[in-house]
Structure 1
């Protein structure tokens, strides 16, 4: 059996590193109320010609992608921030949104840092009706704290045929009825010492898989939430949400390696790079297509890796941190670095070990959120609270619109 070097990192240390990374966003909350921002890194979702996104001032916004006009905006109820270490006294602050809106038919689901899950009906929000409108299928669910320090929801929500799945900072996974918001089940995944579920779950068959910052992959029954017999333990915590491809789970680790774990096994299929660790964490989940894993790293390099063997096919060094997951559109791979450079790779051509992008387009704005692409357009939320729409065919920024409400 291959002996992997030990990089066991305790969760408190991991969380401290994450807090340090997010410190600029935390400090923003000390601004006066008029300029106060909730922060968060909510990404974009597009459904039937409408862009949905969470803003840095705690709103869920719908924008018509054809007219570039606002369809509706819903402000999530602000929270009271207590006076403590990094805060500037007790005050009412907008609710941060970290998860990307989840769109299913005519409902937009959103999780908040204040521990709520909201189901917003598009028609009711377009009429600016009082929330929640139960006759339109709207509901609100409050996540319990369960003696934890926080019930914040940071991870993206996950939807199945009839349920919404939620990972919470209280260390538990919840299944909610999609139609009414009733609790189906809750599953305690992490013990009292290891809270914080900030990764999103993934479904394979009748099983829900969850990765944790303390280095575990857990398998839960989709029907009951019970822990199943198989689990996997790593020497280091997992930094990214899991992705399932065929019969394996792919995810990044805090030891600066990327792992492939065959479901049912207690040892990795492979880890990447094979020898020397990468320059930083693999923070964002990968995208996998036709047996190739495309993984972006915080060291600024995107890697194409053979899914079965872990062999590197090619790499591209953007020179800037890559926080967002790559996106596939037709036969093109879209990668965005933190500086707002959009790289387009043609997967229909043979890319050599040092790949060169087909096109590079800059939006001149920092990007730390997930993004989406549809019909040749890439939809990006910048850290400046603007939506940027990049036209891939033309190789240029098509249009942009601010998400900030003018005073």
Structure 2
């Protein structure tokens, strides 16, 4: 994140900036935007519970948000942190922590592998997906704290919880690794949370009053099973909002569950209630009927839609789509990159990068940039016709999106942060 003349990056302590700080840690680093000078770092110890709640060497995976001289992020310890973006006033020292909300101790949240939400600010509220998830390994997975909040609204000035919601409850399949999005619809600001139960939930931002919910899995999908053996999936990507519509794709846990059939959805935000495509009228035997109040605009993919060499047309995705001038760009984990009409779902083209892809696309100056696990930044021309402009090998995998600001392209790989500008 680039803000206020500074660059903020979440990382680990595998290459320590301070030789006195040793071992595996979560770290938020701050650099000067103009020349990359290291300014300060906030260091967080690992959780004593180990990898089930704080996976080794993942560090701080939250992309911070910066406003009013404050930087907000979620630490590897499942804490929401508000720090002074200027640091401590002393060169290279840790920043002043203005407030800290310990979601694990104070709210009984059980993060699965890692709390990684990228917070969202709307007005005076900071919105967070807590990361509450299952415990255990193998087949025996259960949610130890189903009433702990999945979604939070926090007063950005004080760190006090304004409202909370635990709608996913004991239906969380694994973890909750997505981040919220927000938009004004029908005169009210909605905040949309991706749930670990595979549902999208929308609330009034100020009050937390539910507005609508949408089941992103077909009702007859087989239950989720670790190892990628079930069809039901959850949401890891951050939803994108465009023209009163939410766009998001389904995934499973990418390391343990791997690749498989995915579904991509476009949902109308102007409706209320349960706006899923189907309603269940009988649980056993399962019988459904079309939902007359459905907010489905279009979808693409799924286990029943055959296509391509993989046996499915769209894979599981961690990618937050980029939308510009009515065209939507998104990638799946398999490394296939797609261009759709954002309003109708018509697919204009696709390209197989031949490398798995966790990253999200970024539009700037008529071009789309996206990183791959092969360490390449792929560059495509914006438009309904496929035009590949080239690729740049950065050496190591690129898991996050590139960022462009003030004429500089920032690329973060697994080992380095690059700032690239024209000569």
TM-score surpassing 0.5?
yes
**CA positional deviation for 1:131:** 6.8
Q: Distance in 1 between matches of 2:165 and 2:81?
A: 20
5+ residue gaps, structure 1: 1-44, 88-92, 395-407
The residue aligned with 2:99 is: 139
| Counterpart contact for 2:328–2:339, Cα < 8 Å | yes
> How high is the TM-score relative to the length of structure 2?
0.72
Superposed CA RMSD:
2.8
1:229-282 CA-to-partner distances (Å, cap 9, x unmatched) read: x21113243432221211221111244121112222433322224753335212
The residue aligned with 2:276 is: 266
TM-aligned CA distance change 1:252 to 1:308, over 3 Å: same
The residue aligned with 1:226 is: 209
> How high is the TM-score relative to the length of structure 1?
0.74
| Counterpart contact for 1:363–1:388, Cα < 8 Å | no
Q: Secondary structure at the match of 1:260?
A: strand
TM-aligned CA distance change 1:310 to 1:94, over 3 Å: closer
1:256 aligns with 2:262: yes
| Counterpart contact for 1:72–1:128, Cα < 8 Å | yes
The residue aligned with 1:237 is: 233
**CA positional deviation for 1:85:** 12
The residue aligned with 1:343 is: 378
State how many pairs are aligned. 335
| Counterpart contact for 2:152–2:163, Cα < 8 Å | yes
1:145-193 CA-to-partner distances (Å, cap 9, x unmatched) read: 6555438522211111211111112252111111221221111221134
| Counterpart contact for 1:101–1:109, Cα < 8 Å | yes
Q: Distance in 1 between matches of 2:167 and 2:410?
A: 34
The residue aligned with 2:417 is: 387
| Counterpart contact for 1:283–1:297, Cα < 8 Å | yes
Q: 2:111 pairs with 140, 143, 150, which one?
A: 150
| Counterpart contact for 1:132–1:139, Cα < 8 Å | no
Q: Distance in 2 between matches of 1:269 and 1:124?
A: 46
Q: Secondary structure at the match of 2:169?
A: coil
Q: Distance in 2 between matches of 1:299 and 1:318?
A: 9
The residue aligned with 1:369 is: 400
Q: 1:108 pairs with 45, 62, 71, which one?
A: 71
Question: Which stretch shifts more, 259-268 or 164-173?
Answer: 259-268
The residue aligned with 1:120 is: 83
**CA positional deviation for 1:288:** 1.0
Q: Distance in 2 between matches of 1:84 and 1:210?
A: 23
The residue aligned with 1:33 is: none
**CA positional deviation for 1:317:** 2.0
TM-aligned CA distance change 1:128 to 1:185, over 3 Å: farther
TM-aligned CA distance change 1:163 to 1:129, over 3 Å: farther
Q: How does 1:3-22 map to 2 (within 5 A)?
A: none
Q: Distance in 1 between matches of 2:213 and 2:339?
A: 27
1:75 aligns with 2:103: no
Q: Which has the higher contact order (CA 8 A, sep 6+)?
A: 1
Q: Distance in 2 between matches of 1:314 and 1:163?
A: 39
The residue aligned with 1:207 is: 190
**CA positional deviation for 1:128:** 5.7
Q: Secondary structure at the match of 1:192?
A: helix
The residue aligned with 2:152 is: 174
Q: Distance in 2 between matches of 1:131 and 1:319?
A: 42
Indicate the structure with greater helix content.
Answer: 1
1:297-347 CA-to-partner distances (Å, cap 9, x unmatched) read: 111121110011111122222111121111122322111111221122232
Q: Distance in 1 between matches of 2:392 and 2:80?
A: 35
The residue aligned with 2:225 is: none
Q: Distance in 2 between matches of 1:77 and 1:128?
A: 22
Q: Secondary structure at the match of 1:269?
A: strand
Q: How does 1:18-37 map to 2 (within 5 A)?
A: none
Q: Secondary structure at the match of 2:48?
A: strand
